[in-house]
A and B are shown apart, each in its own frame.
Chain A
Amino acid sequence: MGQDMSHHYLLSEISKPGKIGCTLPALDVPPTELPPKELLRQELELPEVSEVELMRYFTALSKLNYGVDTGFYPLGSCTMKYNPKWHEDIARLPGFASIHPLQPEESVQGALQLMFELQQYLAEITGMHATSLVPIAGAHGEFTGLLLVKAYHQERGDKARKKILLTDSSHGTNPASAVMCGFEIGVVASDSAGNVDMKSLESAMNEEVAALTLTMPTTLGLFDPKILEISQLVHERGSLLGADGANLNALLGRAKFGELGYDYVQLNLHKTFSTPHGGGGPGSGPVCVKEDLADFLPSPLVIKNNGRCEFVSQAKSIGRIANFYGNFGVMCRAYAYIRSLGAAGLKEVSENAVLNANYLKEKLKPYYYLPCDRTCMHEVVFSGRRQRTKGVRTVDIAKRLLDYGLHPPTVYFPLIVDEALMIEPTETESKQTLDAFVEAMKEIARDAEENPGILHTAPHNTPVRRLDDVRAARNPDLRWEMRSQGFE
């Protein structure tokens, strides 16, 4: 169909000389002399497309996409919860969208007030002393947290602390962030119950360790009951305990990282706090810290003095880690979320998230191998190893789910589970949706036994079928090119 073809031509192909996408005003001041020719560019090859074609093109593209508004999106540790619509209107208010970051503070008191309160709410939610809203995504927050750790030990004059300990189930950003801060990595094993192996931790925890990064619940979706023992050991050895707060959805309104013994935690507003993922950002990764680390927080912080909000840079701050103050537009949405839920509402989030995940665990257990059969938190990790004996891999299961109009869970993570399927339903899903997911998974398990071919060739019903990523990696085609006539 004609409409269906809209997305098959790229902008470079739709382009024709003389078309315009919008109108601009004429120059209303006398023109001035142009700068020397050597500074100027002679050609500028950008597409020329009418607004009509442009909107049809991007509308057609949007229809190829699956979002939370399309359906179930159970990606583990991503917390793909529903994004409340009125938050979008708030963030677009001119008083928030059209303010410049370098305006005098008196002229942006509303924005500063919002940031000040959000700093406080996040500290309260995590049981910490202070918050920096600057980090622009979770990984950026991890990087910031580790710079704080580095500054803390430097201040103490302890030069031996060169290592960060991670668990074997940690997210790839954890070791990558540690290296960006000049640390070495040590790995602590998980035991067969999916908790931290205390023997492994005890032997790894020495005076070289600056901090242990421990996601809680872990990426297996499990809460380690020994958390107080772990934090005690870490502190006894002069080290710090940090959380990758990606899994906060399990603890929201119920438990505080600070009370569990953590010294710092980095959050993801685009996970726990309902702000949209945008296809890969914008996110926001605030860091909340105990008093010991507060002096080192990146600049600037928002404080309130005699009813007036202002930015301050602390003397011992690790400095600037972004151009401005963080993703303010994202903060508006997270702030709206917290104000509309309150403490009781946040508690219901974690209750329903944990309930939904445990329900899926029970319903899927007969069909898929469950490495850790115990109460899970907001997510549950299965293994596709039973299906593997029939020649069906987790990737095939994932691709077949697409044929049911469902987004697959996270696959092949955490690395310590073979053929991992990491399922996080979130609280914003009904029992009906969960049951539909279970039915699809049951059929796929049956197909794995009786008709594996249909899984190997999945997906069948999506806008494109399985894509050749070997070709994409061997012969990278990363852009189109438009060149002007007769220009080398």
Chain B
Amino acid sequence: MTPKEYKYTQEHEWICPESKNKGKVGLTDYAQSQLGDIVFLDLPAPGTQVEQGKKMGELESVKAVSDIFAPVSGQVAEINQTVVDEPGLVNKDSYGAGWLVRLELSKPSELDALTDSDKYDEFVAQLTENESEQAGG
């Protein structure tokens, strides 16, 4: 379901490691389904320093605001202008065209502690089960 080569966080971000200690960052399909239609993205400008686990931006659906967290530490090299112009891409193609920023990693070893795709799928499956239990109550 989720791309195998990507790494994942508990906050439902993914990072796709690229050469030269770079990485593309986005939100998982589970995240976009929970958030609903995305209407606006507030991404950190190129050059911004980000810290693993800390807020680096915001996104908005019609009736909610959510924080975007940095999956790893580093510097913003590039933002995806297409997704800024068309926030719906996060919903339509969260692992591809809906990518958010490209980072230059300052601590590449942080990648090792992130979740791989199998474990993330399990995590999501568990969450989904919990939700349907709650709703039934």
Known contacts A470-B62, A473-B60, A474-B88; is A385 also within 8 Å of B39 by CB?
Answer: no
The complex places the Cα of A269 from the Cα of B129 at a distance, in Å, of 47
Mask, B57-70, CB within 8 Å of A = 1, is 00010110000000
The reply to whether the CB of B87 lies closer than 8 angstroms to some CB of chain A is yes
The complex places the Cα of A207 from the Cα of B135 at a distance, in Å, of 40
Contact B135 A470 (CB under 8 A): no
Known contacts A470-B62, A473-B40; is A389 also within 8 Å of B88 by CB?
Answer: no
Residue of B at shortest CB range from A470? B37
Which residues of chain B from 88 to 137 have a CB within 8 Å of any chain A CB? Answer: 88, 135-137
Contact B135 A385 (CB under 8 A): yes
Shortest CB distance B87–A (Å): 6
Contact A385 B60 (CB under 8 A): no
The complex places the Cα of A469 from the Cα of B37 at a distance, in Å, of 10
Contact A474 B135 (CB under 8 A): no
The reply to whether the CB of A16 lies closer than 8 angstroms to some CB of chain B is no
Which residues of chain A have C-beta atoms less than 8 A from B60's C-beta? Answer: 473
The complex places the Cα of A389 from the Cα of B62 at a distance, in Å, of 24
Count chain B residues whose beta carbon lies closer than 8 angstroms to a beta carbon of A.
11
Mask, A448-476, CB within 8 Å of B = 1, is 00000000000000000000011001100
Q: How many A-B contacts at CB < 8 Å in the complex? A: 20
What is the predominant secondary structure among interface residues of chain B facing chain A?
Answer: loop
Contact B39 A470 (CB under 8 A): yes
Known contacts A473-B40, A474-B88; is A388 also within 8 Å of B62 by CB?
Answer: no
What is the predominant secondary structure among interface residues of chain A facing chain B?
Answer: helix
Contact A474 B136 (CB under 8 A): no
Residue of B at shortest CB range from A369? B137
The complex places the Cα of A388 from the Cα of B62 at a distance, in Å, of 20
Q: Which listed residue, A388, A389, A474, touches B39 by the CB 8 Å rule?
A: A474
The complex places the Cα of A388 from the Cα of B88 at a distance, in Å, of 26
Which residues of chain B have C-beta atoms less than 8 A from A470's C-beta? Answer: 37, 39, 62, 88
Contact B135 A469 (CB under 8 A): no
Known contacts A469-B62, A473-B62; is A388 also within 8 Å of B87 by CB?
Answer: no
Known contacts A473-B60, A473-B62; is A389 also within 8 Å of B87 by CB?
Answer: no
Considering residues A385, A412, A469, A470, which has the most beta carbons from chain B within 10 angstroms of its beta carbon? A470
The complex places the Cα of A470 from the Cα of B40 at a distance, in Å, of 10
Which residues of chain A have C-beta atoms less than 8 A from B136's C-beta? Answer: 389
Which residues of chain B have C-beta atoms less than 8 A from A385's C-beta? Answer: 135, 137
The complex places the Cα of A150 from the Cα of B37 at a distance, in Å, of 41
Which residues of chain B have C-beta atoms less than 8 A from A473's C-beta? Answer: 39-40, 60, 62
Contact A389 B40 (CB under 8 A): no
The complex places the Cα of A429 from the Cα of B136 at a distance, in Å, of 34
Residue of B at shortest CB range from A469? B62
Shortest CB distance A175–B (Å): 14
Which residues of chain B from 23 to 78 have a CB within 8 Å of any chain A CB? Answer: 37, 39-40, 60, 62-63
Shortest CB distance B41–A (Å): 11
Contact B137 A474 (CB under 8 A): no
Contact A389 B135 (CB under 8 A): yes
The complex places the Cα of A293 from the Cα of B40 at a distance, in Å, of 43
Which residues of chain B have C-beta atoms less than 8 A from A469's C-beta? Answer: 62
Shortest CB distance B111–A (Å): 33
Residue of B at shortest CB range from A475? B39
The complex places the Cα of A388 from the Cα of B40 at a distance, in Å, of 28
The complex places the Cα of A389 from the Cα of B136 at a distance, in Å, of 6
Contacts beyond the supplied A385-B137, A470-B39, A474-B37: 12 A-B pairs with Cβ under 8 Å: A385-B135, A389-B135, A389-B136, A412-B63, A469-B62, A470-B37, A473-B39, A473-B40, A473-B62, A474-B39, A474-B40, A474-B88
Instruction: Enumerate chain B interface residues (CB-CB to A < 8 A).
Output: 37, 39-40, 60, 62-63, 87-88, 135-137
Q: 20 interchain pairs (CB within 8 A)?
A: A385-B135, A385-B137, A388-B135, A389-B135, A389-B136, A412-B63, A469-B62, A470-B37, A470-B39, A470-B62, A470-B88, A473-B39, A473-B40, A473-B60, A473-B62, A474-B37, A474-B39, A474-B40, A474-B87, A474-B88
Instruction: Enumerate chain A interface residues (CB-CB to B < 8 A).
Output: 385, 388-389, 412, 469-470, 473-474
